Amino acid sequence: MNDFRLPLGELAEGVIDIVTDVLGGFFAVVRAIFAGLYDAVDLLLSAPPFGVVIAVLAVLAFLLRGWKLAVGTVIGLLVIVGVDQWENAMDTLALVLVASAIAIVIAVPIGILGARSDTASKIIRPILDFMQTMPAFVYLIPALILFRVGVVPGIVATIVFAMAPGVRLTELGIRGVDKEVVEAGHAFGSSPWRILRQIQLPLAMPSIMAGVNQVIMLSLSMVVIAGMVGAGGLGGDVVQSLTRIDVGLGFEAGLSVVILAIILDRLTSALGGLRGQRAKRVRRSDASARAPRPAAPRPEPAASGGAPVASVAP
């Protein structure tokens, strides 16, 4: 047997020890911020009666996609209430919303950087590959060490696990914008920031929204894993059902996760469709602006000294 062994595990432990000693105060501040955000969103979802929250989500679904999604949202959320998982579902929804929002805030600027710089893209891609292929359980180990047991390690692990699609699809969407449209913006003297804000981002918005959708779906897939580090919610019930071999509790909690996933998927997909329609309008307006205009009629002198006669140039 080969006695040679790479000390990668010891190296990782040393790095975590150094980070904990040097940046302990920084991670304490991050923990307080994440916990505060989670508590605020959780209070916003859990404090009102469940009927109010269901009505708000149903109205949002109706405005985005129509009455079918609104009815499905009401039925799905009433099922969650019926199996007595409403509080856990709101805790889970708060965790998903906070983690997804932070992941998107980080992912979109990194995707923009990758789209505007080939060097940055070559550096970012291997990191994203590593983040997506590393087992999600591995993220919990340093998260527990740095942020202790509770909801914050679950949020941090969810952010790291779910961020990659947002970066990739943002970069893909911006790189896929028609180069002629960008060149037209340069020709009119627009600054790079204005081109990004008024041309590239609106046209890339369908792809960016697809990335947002994937970030939310991956965040929901981390619910059970986050429950293992004390995050609670539906993931905590799933973990509890595993330890007790409680099929009923596991089914009810798992069904509630599925219902939340379907509702969030349909809402974000509908929002992405609205953004796509706006992008099409931008393309049409740009095409009409670049379309050749007919030449103005030029006057020709009359044959007998009369008033000039207008003729249309061919």
Average of per-residue pLDDT across 223-247? 78
Chain Cα centroid distance, residue 143: 21
Average of per-residue pLDDT across 142-153? 80
Please say whether the dihedral angle defined by the alpha carbons of residues 153, 157, 160 and 166, taken in this order, is positive or negative.
negative
pLDDT value for 307: 47
Query: Could you read off the pLDDT of 11-37 as tens digits, one per residue?
Result: 877 777 787 777 778 888 888 898 899
Residues 6+ apart with CB under 8 A from 141: none
- Dist. CA 270–CA 42, nearest whole Å: 24
pLDDT value for 281: 56
110 pLDDT tier (thresholds 50, 70, 90): very high
Using CB atoms within 10 A of its CB, is residue 160 exposed (0-12), middle (13-18) or buried (19+)?
Answer: buried
Q: Identify the CA nearest to 226 among candidates 164, 145, 150, 138.
A: 150
Do 35 and 46 contact (CB within 8 A), yes or no? no
Q: Identify the CA nearest to 203 among candidates 270, 114, 266, 284.
A: 284
Q: Which amino acid is at 23?
A: L
Average of per-residue pLDDT across 294-302? 51
291 pLDDT tier (thresholds 50, 70, 90): very low
| pTM > 0.95: yes or no | no
pLDDT value for 284: 55
Q: What angle do CA 266, 268, 274 make, to 5 degrees?
A: 105
Assign a CATH topology to domain 22-287.
MetI-like fold (1.10.3720)
Q: Which amino acid is at 2?
A: N
Highest mean pLDDT among 65-69, 230-234, 287-291: 65-69
| Average confidence score pLDDT of the chain | 80
130 pLDDT tier (thresholds 50, 70, 90): confident
Query: Could you read off the pLDDT of 158-212 as tens digits, one per residue?
Result: 888 888 889 999 989 988 888 888 888 778 777 888 888 888 888 888 888 888 8
